[in-house]
Structure formats: structure tokens, C-alpha cells
Structure 1
Amino acid sequence: MFFLGLFPQLALKILTVALLIILMTYLIRKSIKLFFDKTSILDEKREETLMHFANQVTKVLGLVFFFIYVLSHFFDLTKFVTGSAVMAGALALIFQHIIRDYIMGLTYLFERQIHHGDYVIINGNREGKIEEISMRHMKIRQYDGYLYTVSHSNITELQNGNRGMRRVNESLVLNYRQNPDDAFKVIEEVAQTCNEKYEEYLLKDENGVPVENFIFNQITELNVDFRGHRYSISGLVKETDFAVASKKVRYELAIAAYKNDLMMAQSEGLEANKDCNPQVSL
């Protein structure tokens, strides 16, 4: 009966502390937002990134304080942690990974390596737009629509495309039987066409001169997957126009290959099937 009498009081205390933590979290977030709204110290992307990070920090700290308060009513936390070597070792292993995530997250934040909304390539095989940056992980929306989440400590390589410029690099893989001289003439014309039609997308210096025009890089890779050789075009464009410019260059390459009957690379199986089953004209 004694414990039943104490339970309503304990529940009321816990509820009061929970409401106070929620209120403090709200006020801290509101204060940060008002500070950014009233000042122009940082750019918009930087402010948005800090707001996302602050929201995550306040949420985690609020939960930590709440659980510590609740557990303190049932356990002597000091004796509980220090009295169990096994528990202490397990917590050390768990928090080692978590702390490493936090440290890496703070490093990315304060070194300004990434911002909310940036287009990034992670570990060379995941690319997309940053939708969320938390204390422990980053979420990017890939082109296929999937949301990819990676903890900061698992990021070994990070490429950021949002630095005001991007390099378009599009290519054709032509059959090894294709005469390179003929391919050179066609793709050089494609580069000239891109410079004439899509000059507006090129990154320009203070005098309005393109920093790097669309250029034909000739053969950039031999014997790609044992099918043919790669011929590429590249150009330095404004970051905001990267997606559109890439599509335009790809189109020009495709239409040029079609009009000039360039021999596209294909698998050996398809070529063998074509040789064994020639089409018969009626």
C-alpha cells in the first residue's frame, strides 16, 4: 500500500519533468531560429544545416536527461555503473562507436564540409541530395528515390558537388571495330555544338568568359568491359545547372551517334547472335 501511495506522486513528478524538458527544448529551438531570422551572419544553407543539427542535439539531450531522471528513482546509477565490470565494458564498446559518430558529425559541421541540400557522393557508390544531418548520421535522397542513411563514422570518402561548380563528363562507349578517326570528327563536332547551344550553362569568370568550355577528351578508357572504347566530353558548369546540362550533352551525343551510324559497343553474346542470324531482306 505504501508503494501504491507513492506511485501517483512519482508519476506526477516524471510527467512534470517531461513537460519541462519539452518546454526547454522548444524554447532553445525557437531561440536559435529567431537568432538566425534576425541576423545575416551565415548563409541560408549554413543556417538550415545548423538548425537541423540543433534539433537533433536538443532531442537527444532531452531524452538522455529524462531517462537519467527516471532511472535515478529506481537505481543508484553510480553504483549500478561502477559495480558491474561487464556492464561497464559493454557500455564502453557501445559508446565508443556512438562518440566516434558524434565527433565526425561535429567535424563535418564546423569545418563546413557539408550543408543541408548539398549533392554528395559517399564512399564512391552512393550519391544524392542531403535531406537530413543529425548528430550520428546523414540521410541522402538518391536519384532512384530511396533514402540512404549512413553513420558519420562509416563515411570514408565524401565528395561534395555543391561548391558553385560541377564538371559535366558524359561519354559514348563505341565498338572496338569503330574507326577512331571517324569517331573523333563526330564527337569534336558535338563538343562545338554544345558550346554554341548550351553556353548559358557554362561557368563563367568575372569577365563573362567560360572557365572551361565543353571539350572532347578523345579516348579516355580502352576496352571497357571487353566491349569497346570510351570517348568523352566534359565541361565546367554552374552547380545549379549540372543536371540539365548533363541531359543536354547526353542528347547531343546520342543524336550524333544515330545520324553518323557510329558503332555502339555491345556484349559479345549479342554480336555473335547477330553474326549467326543475319537479317534477310525481302
Structure 2
Amino acid sequence: MFSPSDGFLYIGEMLIVAVTLALLVFILTKGLRWFFQKFDVTNEEKEVTVEQFLRSLIRYVAIVAFLVYIVQPYVDLTRILMGAGIVGIVLMATLQNFIKDAFYGFIRLYEKQFVVGDFVIVNSTHYGTIAEVRLRYITIREWSGRHTMLSHSNVQEIQNYSRNELKVIEHLTIRYDQDPDTAKQVIETVCNNMNQTYSDWLQTGEYHEPVQPFQFFGLTSLQPEYVGGFQLTIIGCVRKEHYIEAHNELRYRLAKASYEEKLRLAEPLKHAAAT
């Protein structure tokens, strides 16, 4: 058993180790910040991504080192990890998940699959901007303002819309007995208003000219799943930070213009059959 003096000595050593590790974490993270501010290694988004990832790694290493220091004098970690007991199984499962997440994190960092600020769709369900890239997880800031955390191992599919031109594509499906020229005029009016009102949303090229302003793209499909309908398409390239609101605004303006001009829109077959 421990004597009071041994207990105080152990607590003192533990505090010294904790303070030393905290100081090392502070120095290393500040050193990272200084390095990326001092040297222009790459663009700002990639620098922020690498810095966040390495800071997370440093903190995890410090925490694990401290925990190992605390329990090592009293617990044979090798025996527990190699054993078949409940504690060993739980620890091995936790360690396995941690290593898997960290491994995928390193792979994505190395392959530059995304960086902070990229607009992505993850697993076809989470739409938003990459806010954080940590050792074990990423944080997505969705259009509603909600922050969603996903571990790297749970990220099965990534659609990165920030690598190429980010295109807003919307469709208006009208009936066969609706004059397509009238529908085209309505769409062109909506596009012109969008380009004038939200010119700062448009993606620009080298000479600050819009890459592709909102415009009528054409009749892109005959719609067999609609009753007597065909599809007109609108397209435009926008900046990634305005992608969601550009989609919503374009939909709203199309709906309002269709109502005001009394365009006859096609109905889905199921809805038509029900009525």
C-alpha cells in the first residue's frame, strides 16, 4: 500500500508530467501557427486544413502519453491488450476504431480530397462547407447553420464541388400544351433578374467576367414520368459560399414567375392518377 508520502510524491510527479505535456502542446501548436503565418507553403485553405489536423494529432498524442504514464506503473498494458478478457476486448475495439479513423484521416489529408472551406456533399445526405478537419473526424457546416461531425471511417462518399466550377442546375417541367416560347421568356427574365440582383454570387474568371451567368440552357428531356411534360433547364456558375442560397433563390423566382405568368406545369404520373 502507498504511504502518504508516496501518494503526495506520485501526485506531484503526475502534475509535473501534466504541466510539461500541456506546455509542449502549447509550444508545438503555437509553433505550427507561426510556421504557416511566416511561410507561404500553399494556399490558405490547405494551410488551415493541415494545421488543424496536426494540432489534433499533437493533442491526442499528449493525452495518450499522459494516460499511459498514469496507469503503466500499476497495470500491465501489454498483457491487457494481448489478453482475451473483457477489458482487453473493449480497449482493442476502441483502439481499432481510433486507428481506423486516424488512418483514413491521414489518407484524405495526403490525397487532398478536401480542405477547409470546400463545399461538399458527404454520403449523399450532408450538404455543406468543411469547417474542420481533425485527426478522427471532420465537421461540416450545413446551410442551416448546423455543424455535423462525421468520423473519417464513416465517410463513404465525397462529392467535392469546390474543385471545379460550381454549377447551379434547375429544371422546369411544363405540359405539352404549354407554349415553350412563353416558358423560355419567363425563364430568361428570371435569369436576367438573378444576374443583375446577385452579380456578386456569380463565379468569375481570370478577367473578372462571369464564367457562366444564369441562362436558359435548353430543352433537355422529354419526361415520360410526367403527364404530357417536357423539361427546360436553367444553369449558372456561382461561388461556393453562395451555392445553397443561389439554388433556393432561383427555385423561388421560378415558382413565382410560373404562377404569375400562369404557366401550365406538368404533374407526376402518380399525382395525376390519384386525381
Q: TM-score band (shorter)?
A: 0.7 to 0.9
CA contact (8 A) 1:212 1:236 kept: yes
Aligned-partner residue type, residue 185 of structure 1: K
Judge which range, 125-134 or 187-196, deviates more: 187-196
C-alpha deviations, 1:16-46, integer Å up to 9, x for none?
A: 1111110000010011111111111121111
Aligned-partner residue type, residue 77 of structure 1: L
CA distance in 2 between partners of 1:132 and 1:207 (Å): 32
CA distance in 2 between partners of 1:171 and 1:180 (Å): 16
Question: Which residue is equivalent to 2:18?
Answer: 18
Aligned-partner residue type, residue 39 of structure 2: T
Q: SS of 2:135's equivalent?
A: coil
Question: Which residue is equivalent to 2:62?
Answer: 62
Q: SS of 2:7's equivalent?
A: helix
CA contact (8 A) 2:173 2:266 kept: yes
CA distance in 2 between partners of 1:140 and 1:196 (Å): 29
**Offset at 1:263?**
2.7
**Offset at 1:5?**
3.0
Task: Report whether the alignment pairs 1:72 with 2:109.
Answer: no
CA distance in 1 between partners of 2:192 and 2:258 (Å): 14
CA contact (8 A) 1:173 1:228 kept: yes
**Offset at 1:202?**
4.4
**Offset at 1:8?**
0.8
Aligned-partner residue type, residue 257 of structure 1: S
**Offset at 1:70?**
0.3
Q: RMSD of the alignment, in Å?
A: 3.4
Aligned-partner residue type, residue 240 of structure 2: E
CA distance in 1 between partners of 2:137 and 2:156 (Å): 13
CA distance in 2 between partners of 1:179 and 1:194 (Å): 23
CA distance in 2 between partners of 1:142 and 1:223 (Å): 34
Judge which range, 178-187 or 255-264, deviates more: 178-187
**Offset at 1:85?**
2.6
Question: Which residue is equivalent to 2:40?
Answer: 40
Question: Which residue is equivalent to 2:149?
Answer: 149
CA distance in 2 between partners of 1:105 and 1:79 (Å): 29
Question: Which residue is equivalent to 2:99?
Answer: 99
CA pair 142-85 structure 1, distance change in 2 beyond 3 A: same
Aligned-partner residue type, residue 84 of structure 2: A
Question: Which residue is equivalent to 1:278?
Answer: none
Judge which range, 158-167 or 134-143, deviates more: 158-167
Aligned-partner residue type, residue 140 of structure 1: I
Unaligned stretches of 5+ residues in structure 2: none
Q: SS of 2:3's equivalent?
A: helix
Q: SS of 1:75's equivalent?
A: coil
**Offset at 1:192?**
6.2
Alignment of structure 1 residues 134-213 onto 2, 5 Å = 134-163=134-163, 165-174=165-174, 176=175, 179=178, 181=180, 184-187=183-186, 189-190=188-189, 193=192, 197=196, 201-206=201-206, 210-213=210-213
CA contact (8 A) 2:226 2:267 kept: no
Question: Which residue is equivalent to 2:5?
Answer: 5
Question: Which residue is equivalent to 1:120?
Answer: 120
Q: SS of 1:139's equivalent?
A: strand
TM-score by length of 1: 0.79
CA distance in 2 between partners of 1:73 and 1:118 (Å): 46
Task: Report whether the alignment pairs 1:260 with 2:253.
Answer: no
CA contact (8 A) 2:98 2:136 kept: yes
